[in-house]
Copies of this chain bind each other. A is one copy, B any other.
Amino acid sequence: MSQKAHAAMTQFSIKDGELAIANKTVSELVQIAGQTPCYIYDRNVIAHNIEQLREHFPRVSLHYAIKANPYQPLVSFVANLVDGLDVASGKELRTALATSISADDISFAGPGKSSTELLMAIASGVTINVESKTELERIITLAQANNTSANVALRLNPDFELKSSGMKMGGGSQQFGIDIEQLDPIFELLKADGVSFKGLHIFTGSQNLNPQSLISAHDNIFALVQRLQQQYSFVLEHLNIGGGFGIPYFAGEQVLDLEPIAENLNSLFDQYKELVQDCEVILELGRYIVGNSGIYVSQITDKKVSRGQTYLITNGGLHHHLAASGNFGQVIRKNYPVDVANKMISNDKEIVNVVGPLCTPLDILASKMELPVADIGDYIVVYQSGAYGFTASPRDFLSHAHPVELML
C-alpha cells in the first residue's frame, strides 16, 4: 500500500535523499519550523492547484472555503489567487475580511448561525447563505433594526444527491439548506425590506473522486435552477454550485480527472446560455485547493518490538492529526500516505506500526505499513495534510505541546 501511495505524492521533490519543500530538506524544514511536530504547507503546490483549475474552468469563479485550512498566511496567499472566500463562523469571517477579497465576494454558510454572526455578516456586507426560513426572518429583523439591507443567497437542499461522495450534504432529509419544496414562503419573505436576494447555493457533498457523479450533480443543479427560475422568476447574480472535488488519501484512490467535469460544465454553459449570461457561476473548493499542499512531520522518539510487531513511537499523533489516525468520520480505519521523510531513497524496508505518545490505542498514524527502516530521531511524514488537519484535531488531548504551522 505505502509504495503506491508515495508514488502519487509527486507534488514534492526529493533532495539529498530527503523529502523537500521549497528546495529545503525535511531536516532543514524542521529547523525553520523550530520544532516537531509541525505542519508545513507548500505555496507552490497551492498555486499549481489553482492554475490547473483556472485552465479547466475559465468561465467559472473560484472560491476558497476557509474551513479546510484557516491558517491566516495561507488564506491570505490563496485570497490573491481566487475570486472569493466562503466562511463558516464569525472568526472565519474576520479572517476573510483581512484579505484582499472584497466583502462582495465573501459568503457565509452554515446551519445555526448566531445573531451575533448574522449581524457581523450584515454589517460587513458579505452574502449570507440562508439555511432556513427562521434564519431568513432573523436576518430581516436584524437588518431592519439597523436600517440596512442584508445580502442573501439561498442554500438549497435539492431533490437529488451527489453519488459516491465521502459525505453527502444534499438530497433527502438534511440539516443543511432549505428543501426546494419549501421555497414558496421564502420567496415571499424575500420581498421584504432589509434583504437583497443575490443568488443560490447548492452544495451536495464533499470528497468525491468520481467525475461522473460530479457531472451528474452539475447537470441536476442547472436543470433545477432553470426550473426554479421559471417558477419564481428571480434574477441571479451568482450561482454557487458547491465543490465536492476529492483528493486521494487511501490505497487505490486516483487523482480526480478534471477534464470530463470541465467539458460537461462547458456544455452546460452553452445549454443554459440565458441562465448564466449575467450570472457568476462559482465553484467553492477547500480541500481540493490546499489538501495535497500540506505535510505533517513528527519525529520518532522510541522504537520497540512487541510480540512480533514493530512500533515506531513518534512525538505526534491523533491529537494533532485526528483524520490520519482514522478517527474522523471513517468507518474502517485506513492508512493515510506516510513515509520516513529523511530516508526517501532506501531499499531497506520493514513492516511497522507508527503510533503517537498518547495513552490510547486509537493513537495510530500507520498500521502495518512497509516503510524504510527507521530509528529514533528520524522524521515521519503524513502527506495530504493541508486540509482538515491542524484545526480539525483535539490538540489539548493529554495536554501535549501543540504542533506549529509553516508555509513556504
Contacts and interface: CB of A to CB of B under 8 A. Distances in A.
B353 A399 contact: no
B394 A302 contact: no
Interface string A290-328: 000000000001111011110101110000001000011
Nearest to A174: B306
Interface stretch (A45-53, A105-113, A220-228, A265-273): A105-113
Interface residues of A, number: 71
A359 B399 CA distance: 27
A393 B391 contact: no
Interface in A344-389: 353, 355-363, 376, 388
How many monomers of this chain does the complex have?
A: 2
A141 interface: no
A114 B315 contact: yes
Contacts of A322: 322, 394
Given A301-B113, A361-B167, A392 B394 contact: yes
A89 B173 contact: no
Contact of A355 (B133, B175, B307): B175
Nearest to A181: B307
Contact of A135 (B92, B95, B172, B302): B302
A184 interface: no
A134 interface: yes
Interface in A118-140: 131-135
5 contacts: A88-B399, A112-B302, A112-B313, A168-B361, A175-B361
